[in-house]
């Protein structure tokens, strides 16, 4: 986990130096830290799990951002605990101009691409595995639709509904 956090800090530093935010069109997108809590669905179990999500958006083109992200969720079944950590990049297109939205609102569609780190701990201490691959490398794909309400030019609240991890949280601009 320390390696993942270290890698995320390095990636954020590189992106921050490489993509200084410019005013694009009439509105600024990017240079935004999003912290969210929510629910996630991880494919092979039949219930939702609590999720913690973090991303940092960088404006790369008019109405388009890229955001390195890290998400964390863990669940316990009858004889094991599994921790799942998706890490990757989320691309977001903002439709505010097309929708003629009030400047307090943002509306977007997005897609996430990355890898999923999986760790399983058995209650009896054994090293059994599932048929799926443990560790890094599982492909992570997610589609999003969302909105953000800006309380002011520094803080907003967002709702991000998706095919895998849906969150509600705060945005810091």
Closest-CA residue to 138 (of 118, 115, 114): 115
Q: Does this model's pTM top 0.95?
A: no
**Which residue range forms the structural domain that includes residue 67?**
2-172
Give the list of residues 6+ apart from residue 159 with CB closer than 8 angstroms, or none.
146, 147, 148, 167, 168
pLDDT at 114: 95
Summarised one tens digit per residue, pLDDT across range 41-79 is: 655 456 678 899 999 999 999 999 999 999 998 888 888
- Tell me if 86 sits within 8 A of 140, measured CB to CB: yes
Q: Give the mean pLDDT of 146-153.
A: 97
Q: What is the pLDDT of residues 80-120, one digit of tens each?
A: 888 889 999 999 999 999 999 999 999 999 999 999 888 88
- For the stretch 150-163, pLDDT in tens is 999 999 999 999 98
- Total structural domains in the chain? 1
Q: Please tell me the distance from the alpha carbon of residue 93 to that of residue 34, in angstroms, as a whole number.
A: 16
CATH of the domain at 41: 2.40.160.20
- Average pLDDT along the chain: 81
Q: Which of 60, 55, 34, 54 is nearest to 173 (CA)?
A: 34
**Residue 30, pLDDT score:** 84
Tell me the CA distances in angstroms from 7 to 10, 12, 13, 69, one per residue in order.
5, 9, 10, 11
């Amino acid at each position: 986990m320390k390696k993942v956090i270290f890698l995320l800090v390095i990636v954020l530093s590189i992106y921050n130096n490489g993509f200084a935010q410019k005013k694009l069109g009439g509105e600024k997108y990017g240079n935004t830290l999003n912290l969210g809590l929510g629910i996630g669905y991880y494919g092979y179990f039949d219930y939702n799990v609590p999720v913690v999500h973090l991303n940092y958006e960088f404006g790369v083109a008019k109405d388009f951002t890229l955001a390195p992200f890290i998400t964390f969720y863990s669940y316990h079944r009858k004889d094991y605990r599994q921790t799942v950590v998706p890490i990757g990049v989320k691309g977001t297109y903002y439709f505010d101009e097309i929708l003629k939205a009030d400047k307090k609102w943002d509306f977007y569609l997005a897609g996430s691409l990355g890898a999923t780190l999986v760790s399983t701990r058995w209650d009896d201490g054994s090293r059994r595995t599932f048929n799926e691959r443990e560790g890094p490398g599982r492909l992570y794909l997610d589609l999003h639709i969302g909105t953000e309400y800006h309380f002011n030019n520094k803080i907003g609240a967002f709702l991000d509904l998706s095919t895998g991890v849906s969150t509600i949280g705060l945005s810091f601009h």
